[in-house]
A and B are shown apart, each in its own frame.
Chain A
Amino acid sequence: MMEKMIFGRYIPADSIAHRMDPRAKLIFVFAFIAIIFIANDVWGYVIAAAFTYISVKMSGLSLRFLISGLKPVMILIAFTFLLQLFFAREGNVVLDLGFIQVYEEGIRQAFFISMRFTLLVFMTSLLTLTTTPISITDGLESLLNPLKKIKFPAHELALMMSIALRFIPTLMDETDKIMKAQMARGSDMSSGPLKDRIKAIVPLMIPLFVNAFKRAEDLATAMEVRGYRGGEGRTKYRLLFWKARDTFALLSLVLLAGALAAFRFWI
């Protein structure tokens, strides 16, 4: 199931969402997370859902692909739904099973919370599905740049993220390799009592750490030799272009917020 999971993956395509500035997408998603909390009635959620649906359309990905790819998350959401259903105790009892009662408020809460959760997962997935990790990093660095004035290490953070991204597959391969080597020496990591399994991790972790430090040292040398001396005076290879569509995307969010607020406070 995990192999089919799309949460956190990037799917290359050429859609409006793919072409958007990563900064716009980041602001968009974070703002959406805040705005969704304004909704507190059926109409609010209908509008938010419609908004999410349009966003999915803009990404060129099919809704069905998203739903099937997010199945493991869906199970988690279903679980929250049930939890809310049985544990909220307000309003009239709608269903009485003897050992447990379902209240009116329970249904309401369960519906709203799982809806909110679903929309959040969809929106954040859209961000990673349409944006390469390196663009996300670039976007973050650029957004955090103003904070450099208060000594916030925006560049270092971004560099750390990009190096981490770069080395994840390498370290995964290495883990697999060392695991196999120790298994060939009779280590057993997949069966036996918990205590033994924890013990079996040591022969895996130590080589991994030793190698990671060696890599870090090599990498630092390679970076220094290529003239890396920190963020000062560096130029950027990847430029970010803020286009009209990015502004429109953010404007649409303002509209959404307005609509949700209208339903909540005035209608």
Chain B
Amino acid sequence: MDIVLEQVEYRYAANSPFEKKAVEDVTFKIPEGQCTAIIGHTGSGKSTLLLHLNALLKPTSGTVQIGERTVKAGRKEKDLKPIREKVGIVFQFPEQQLFEETVMKDICYGPMNFGVSEQEAKKRAAFWLKEVGMPEEVLGKSPFDLSGGQMRRVAIAGVLAMEPEVLVLDEPTAGLDPRGRREMMEMFYRLHQERGITLVLVTHSMEDAARYADKVVVMHKGRKVHEAPPRELFSDTARLAEWGLGVPEVVKFQRMLEEKTGKAFPKVCLTMDELADMLKQGGESL
């Protein structure tokens, strides 16, 4: 299922003295089965944009096509549930959305809202809890008795149990320690590869965008300013700086090497392994 945004504009408090334009003239496609990263610094409009991906917000102008459905500005939409079932969103600090007495009930909440039977929902809860790396005995516990990191995993399992085709992640690793961050991202990437879930990653981390994304969309001051595969995007350090964004550390390091040797390397390396291999093969010629 593709999601296609066309000239999307969103104004908060439209037609009032407090009106504020958050997103303007944004057009791009999120292709099925790929990982698309949306980057941009705080206030660039990326958070507003992501709310359009499952019709939590309706554009004030333009259209958002989500699979078969089209959400169009000015048109009354009925029954948005099928859209929300197909596009799951993991919000920033998702542990804040937990509310049930038990982990089991909380994970079942989403699926059952979409009409999944209780029995099936429970089966899914047990399955997805394991997928996010939590032991099964947690199912009967109160989510509020868990540690912060565990709560986050439970909340994520709650979204995954809806078994969405598209998974939107808003800064999923914020506040985690380095190991937690690594494990979390690897988990999402594994789901993406094994199950073909379409990923949308809204992030501040250039490292993650470089490592996981097939395509990166850059937001700046409410507009889409660039859209490219990571290798192409990160080869233009100067332009990224204009948007207040950096490059992954390995790219920064490659640039320093290039300056020292006075020669440009044949391509921008996105991982340390890539760079090491290139150095090894290139050897003296670099």
How far apart are A260's CB and chain B's nearest CB, in angstroms? Answer: 37
B99 at the A/B interface (Cβ < 8 Å)? yes
- Size of the chain B interface, CB-CB below 8 angstroms: 26
Structural contact, A203 and B16, CB atoms closer than 8 A: no
Please report the C-alpha to C-alpha distance between residue A184 and residue B91 in the assembled complex, in whole angstroms.
9
- Give the interface centre of A180, A184, A186 by most chain B CB atoms within 10 Å: A184
Within 8 A of B (CB), among A1-50: 3-4
**Residue in chain A with minimal CB distance to B14:** A3
How far apart are B207's CB and chain A's nearest CB, in angstroms? Answer: 26
A115 at the A/B interface (Cβ < 8 Å)? no
- Give the interface centre of B13, B84, B96, B158 by most chain A CB atoms within 10 Å: B96
**Residue in chain A with minimal CB distance to B168:** A184
B213 at the A/B interface (Cβ < 8 Å)? no
How far apart are A262's CB and chain B's nearest CB, in angstroms? Answer: 43
Interface SS of A by simple majority: helix
A165 at the A/B interface (Cβ < 8 Å)? no
Structural contact, A182 and B17, CB atoms closer than 8 A: no
Structural contact, B18 and A210, CB atoms closer than 8 A: no
A185 at the A/B interface (Cβ < 8 Å)? yes
Residues of B within 8 Å of A180, CB to CB, are 51, 56, 91
Residues of A within 8 Å of B81, CB to CB, are 186, 188
- Given known A-B contacts A180-B51, A207-B97, A186 and B91 have beta carbons under 8 A apart: no
B193 at the A/B interface (Cβ < 8 Å)? no
How far apart are A254's CB and chain B's nearest CB, in angstroms? Answer: 38
Contact partner of A207 (CB less than 8 A), chosen from B96, B113, B158, B159, is: B96
How many residue-residue contacts, CB under 8 A, span A and B? Answer: 62
Please report the C-alpha to C-alpha distance between residue A181 and residue B181 in the assembled complex, in whole angstroms.
22
Residues of B within 8 Å of A185, CB to CB, are 84, 97, 109-110, 113, 158-159, 162
Structural contact, A181 and B91, CB atoms closer than 8 A: yes
Structural contact, B16 and A3, CB atoms closer than 8 A: yes
Please report the C-alpha to C-alpha distance between residue A184 and residue B159 in the assembled complex, in whole angstroms.
9
Please report the C-alpha to C-alpha distance between residue A185 and residue B116 in the assembled complex, in whole angstroms.
13
Structural contact, A210 and B144, CB atoms closer than 8 A: yes
Cβ-closest 8 pairs across A and B: A186-B113, A206-B99, A3-B16, A185-B110, A181-B97, A184-B89, A203-B99, A186-B114
Beyond A177-B96, A180-B91, A203-B97, 18 additional contacts (C-beta under 8 Å) are A3-B13, A4-B16, A4-B17, A174-B96, A178-B97, A180-B51, A181-B89, A184-B84, A184-B159, A185-B97, A185-B159, A186-B84, A186-B110, A186-B114, A187-B113, A207-B97, A210-B96, A210-B99
Residues of B within 8 A of A (CB): 13, 16-18, 51, 54, 56, 81, 84-85, 88-89, 91, 94, 96-99, 109-110, 113-114, 144, 158-159, 162
Residues of A within 8 A of B (CB): 3-4, 174, 177-178, 180-188, 202-203, 206-207, 210-211
